[in-house]
Amino acid sequence: MSATRRYKDAWEGFWSEASSEPGAVFWDAEPALTAGLHLALFEPHMAAADLPLVDLGCGNGTQTRFLADRFRHVVGADLSAGAIEHARYSDPAGQAEYRQLDATDKAEIEQLHAELGDTNVYMRGVLHQCEPEGRHPLAQSVATLLGERGRACVVEPSQAAGTLLMGLARGDAGPPPKMEPVLRHGIAPVEVPDAEVSEIFRAAGLEILVSGELPLTTTDYTPDGSRIELPSRWLVLGRAG
């Protein structure tokens, strides 16, 4: 399968309006609070840290650049041409390589795997808002990229994050300000039930090597001035033995 025109347009519309200012986008928190925390959990489980690393659904590349400081060959891949433009603009030294691709498109992922061989994968916040028909193909793509030797670190907001956001949206102040463009472009947040996340990856032939909970720090604040943190789950995956 591949993503529908409506879904692609939603992301393209979002990224074409997004500012390149650090912290302008709801989920775009500093890497020290994001990929930095995940990497400490992920690295001990990498079977081969010298493989290329793909940041799948890299958005504007904030986390990709952090990863590119630590790994030899990092590729940021995103569905949206606008996201890739932001990512390249913010990486003038070209620390990472960026590609526009649809991670639910089998042929595009097979092509990437043919070029890079087995890779490690970082994927944050992509499964939970992708189209329901895209969930299994997306997990299958992660499995294809990993091949025999790669490992993936997947981070997704939990169901409780949806409840929290819904509660904030219904409050007097309405949705957090930086959520407004996300909702306006028709991007549906936190749609995958917790129990399904593991099942989706297992169905793609992947094994959960280790997992845990962590707050997903956003760049937005509640009316009382506290930074919004969403409950999230991280998983390290490898091919089932």
Ligand X SMILES: C[S@@+](CC[C@H](N)C(=O)[O-])C[C@H]1O[C@@H](n2cnc3c(N)ncnc32)[C@H](O)[C@@H]1O
Question: Could you say which of 38, 124, 178, 233 contacts ligand X (CB under 6 A)?
Answer: 124
Q: Rounded CA gap, 199 and 106, in Å? A: 20
Select the span of 67-75, 79-87, 164-172, 191-199 touching ligand X (CB under 6 A): 79-87
Site string for ligand X, 128-157 (x = CB under 6 A): --x---x-----------------------
* Under rule CB under 6 A, residue 104 binds ligand X: yes
Select the span of 77-85, 146-154, 205-213, 222-230 touching ligand X (CB under 6 A): 77-85
> DSSP assignment of 123-160, as one string?
EESSGGGS-GGGHHHHHHHHHHHHTTT-EEEEEEE-HH
Which two three-digit tokens encode residue 226?
A: 């506290």
* Under rule CB under 6 A, residue 63 binds ligand X: yes
Select the span of 46-54, 78-86, 190-198, 225-233 touching ligand X (CB under 6 A): 78-86
Question: Could you say which of 31, 52, 125, 157 contacts ligand X (CB under 6 A)?
Answer: 125
Which two three-digit tokens encode residue 56?
A: 């799948």
Q: Rounded CA gap, 184 and 31, in Å? A: 26
* 234, β-bridge pairs: 155, 212
> Based on C-alpha coordinates, what's the Rg of the chain?
17
* Under rule CB under 6 A, residue 71 binds ligand X: no
* Under rule CB under 6 A, residue 237 binds ligand X: no
* Under rule CB under 6 A, residue 75 binds ligand X: no
Question: Could you say which of 39, 54, 83, 192 contacts ligand X (CB under 6 A)?
Answer: 83
106-116 and 135-146 helices, crossing angle to 10°: 10
Residue type, 101: L
Q: Rounded CA gap, 111 and 207, in Å? A: 24
Residue 226 beta carbon to ligand X: minimum distance, rounded to whole angstroms: 21
According to CB under 6 A, which residues from 194 to 233 bind ligand X? none
Q: Rounded CA gap, 88 and 91, in Å? A: 5
Which positions lie near ligand X, rule CB under 6 A?
Answer: 3, 11, 27-28, 57-59, 62-63, 78-80, 83, 102-104, 124-126, 130, 134
